[in-house]
Amino acid sequence: MYDAIFQLATAINAGATRWKIVEGSYPRVVSDVFNMSSFDRGRTLPGRNFSLDPTPASVVVPESCSKCRPWSSPEACQRVKDTVYKSKACAPCLKYMREHWGTPQYAAIAVAELHKLYTAKFSSCMAKPYTAEEEQGLLTVHLRGGDVAGQDGKVHKNAWRQPPCSVYERIIEDFHFQMVVVITSSDQKHLCVAWFERFEAERSRLGRPLQVRIQSRSLSEDGCALARARHLVVSYSSFSIAFALMEQRARRIYTGGGMMNNPIPISCKFWPGVEHIGYSTKISRGGGVPGLKKFMWNTSAAAVEGPHVGCK
């Protein structure tokens, strides 16, 4: 259970490049979302001030995991890779988790445990009532920026895993959305940020108005928008899917390709009550930043396959 919570927290941290807090060489849970007073000595995992509820019935924990108790060590949370992943006592437990746990198991743990760690600010945001627009007409899009934005003549390997902008056009047109909020990094250099602005202007010119809002705020505010989204387009990033998983508010999750499954195993088999809508395109890699711009901006909507409901 502790390891599962650690993986979830790391998934948020790993995606939050503009808010990451580093202790030594290891990222710490971001205090804008999680209440650090629940943690011992600022460590990465809950300490004696945090108690786990019984494991959810849907999560099978083998007997081998009862022998994995590195968390009792004062240094365990700071040196998790040494104390847990390299522990002989934990090896059978971790092997079982890798082979048998997937998105539904982590989702069950997240919804049972993580809400107890929320800050007052994040809890207040999550508790706000939904408007009619949020329930039906709002599409929330996460654009992973930072390392995949295609800057300084360099292209990160994960940039090619991001959907081309035409995927968002297809989702908006196929499901008749009239409002879009785009959550992205503060530099706003993801190539589809400029595309969304052009697309909004073009829709207005054609007499088919579309409201687009680009949002880059605090981790708490942006994370809350992702966690509350009823209709969410995730990027190839641990950030958006981790927030969606925290309370499982989404009714539909849209993808434009594969999903990042590290550090938590994520697949198109989500938790109960959410529908997966998938799109796909043929990826033409290469050509540096000009090639990436061509792929992102010039891939036509007709070249986007889908929608596919469920796992294809």
Choose the final residue of a domain: 88, 105, 124: 124
- How does pLDDT run along the chain (312 residues), one tens digit per residue? 555 555 565 555 555 444 344 444 334 446 778 776 655 444 444 444 445 556 677 788 777 777 765 544 444 444 445 555 667 777 887 788 878 888 888 888 888 878 888 889 999 999 999 999 899 899 999 998 876 665 666 788 888 889 999 999 999 999 999 999 999 988 888 999 999 999 999 999 999 999 999 999 988 899 999 999 999 999 988 888 888 988 899 999 999 988 877 666 777 788 888 999 999 998 777 788 888 889 999 999 999 999 999 876
Residues 156 and 89 in one domain: no
Coil, helix or strand at residue 28: strand
The pLDDT of residue 51: 52
Residues 114 and 169 in one domain: no
Residues 89 and 225 in one domain: no
Domain of 221: which CATH number? 3.40.50
Single pTM value for the model:
0.84
**In this structure, are strands 305-309 and 275-280 parallel, antiparallel, or unpaired?**
antiparallel
- Residue that has been written with the tokens 């989404």 in this structure: 250
Residues 69 and 150 in one domain: no
The pLDDT of residue 66: 72
- Helices 103-113 and 238-247, axial angle in degrees (round to 10): 60
Residues 152 and 182 in one domain: yes
Residues 246 and 186 in one domain: yes
Distance between CA 15 and CA 104 in Å, rounded?
21
pLDDT in tens, 12-40: 555 544 434 444 433 444 677 877 665 54
Could you list the residue range(s) of the whole structural domain that residue 287 is in?
128-309
**Dihedral sign of CA atoms 290, 147, 167, 264 in order:** positive
Residues 59 and 146 in one domain: no
Residues 103 and 251 in one domain: no
The pLDDT of residue 194: 94
Coil, helix or strand at residue 166: helix
